[in-house]
Chains A and B, each alone.
Chain A
Amino acid sequence: MSPLTIGNRLAKNVAVQSSSDRPNCLTSGHRACQGCGEALGARCVLDAAYVATKGKIAVVNATGCLEVFSCVYPENSWRVPWLHSLFGNAPAVAAGVAAAFRQQGKEDVRVIAQGGDGALADIGMGCLSGMFERDDDVLCVCYDNQAYMNTGVQRSGATPAFARTATTLPTGNYLGNDAQTGKNLPKIAMAHGIPYVATASVGDIRDLEKKAAKAIRIKGAKYLHVHVPCPLGWGYPTSETIKIARAAIQCGLFPLFEAEHGKIVESTPIKEPIKVEDYLRGQRRFAHLFGKNAPPEALAALQNTADNNIREYALVGGADE
């Protein structure tokens, strides 16, 4: 099922994460859960950006898991200048940091705003949209685990249809989250016409690093949306984060693409598409879709979403026909 088992050492370009002198911007000892996709995603993004800028990055972090597990005083795991202000304002704070660096002639220091889907798709969307609209020189990274994990797995605006969360329990006639597809933040970012928008996943580290390194060098507003499975919230064994992330890519539910100034310029093809069932089955948040009395429409609807993605983003060769 996994075509990406080639060893890093055999590849031409060694991944930052596989390098013995990777910067470890988010260093070990933090308090994230075993198998945390967000911790992995953040370390990969920041390390790649760090290497690409020769260490000149500054990070503004929204409230959320990433902030809580990384910095309980008097300890912290950040090896870069790092600022946490509030849940909903990271893009605006980062815009202020970027403006201050510009005033000091330090434009070579690149600014990253990062947070989860709750911080960026929901409570901070106004500040995010403002940052995009002003084209502030900030890379915003959303680590999307599709719910409010920090507070105990409640539904967010990015929670997919039919997912079980603490506030969308499948009971009676309810089949989990009754929204349609979850808020599509990459498309919202693209609608601002900003220079660069990309999706990435911890299921494809090389692609993630490539996009982070590219984005950090671009002047103006950038947005990187990273799919980060959460073993606690999604209900799967902690050893399977990468496997689950890859399955999301391969079934078409999480398309990988890049867009410039509002237009898609590149998408990562799926070599062997799998059924959405093969992605969903291993997660407790979708278990109610597989029971004896589960209505088949739910799975069909999710498969339909994946098929639409495959068509829209031309993920499989000749999909346009």
Chain B
Amino acid sequence: MFQVRIHGRGGQGVVTAAEMLSIAAFSEGKYAQAFPSFGSERMGAPVVAFCRISDREIRLREPIMEPNAVIVQDRTVIDSANAFQGVVEKGFILVNSSHGMANDLKNVTLKCIGATEIALEHIGRPIPNAVLLGSFAGLTGILKIESVIEAIKTKFSGAIGEKNIAAARVAYDRTLGGA
């Protein structure tokens, strides 16, 4: 089972990102379970969402405490949300940041990508969720970029969908290229 925890703020599409991840996994024939940290968070408040991906039926219904990957949509929540807590060995951390970040964790791959900038350039809005999923596909290899694109299409239709897809591709390529 591969477990992903996504941190960000209300309004950044954190919950939608987890849902898209689960849809992408589903399209590859896997079992997936996505769920938000339930609450009445308003715009701007720290938000967490989760996604489990597995080849077998997922029965477990607890929050993800030992993620294989953490996606941070807004780096300002890292300390207050204790975003890196419990990341397993050989796990991944993907941070939305155009600046680098020191990796204090052993045996964990940390990658920074300026997803907000890519979103602004390609979508025209600072919504980094789809962009980060493109990068996630490149970083972890858990999902194909084509599956992520299919998932983005189910959530964003028409021109806005195309723009999100273009942005996700850029992030995917940039992540694989190591830039």
**A/B touching: CB–CB < 8 A:** no
Interface residues of A, Cβ cutoff 8 Å to B? none
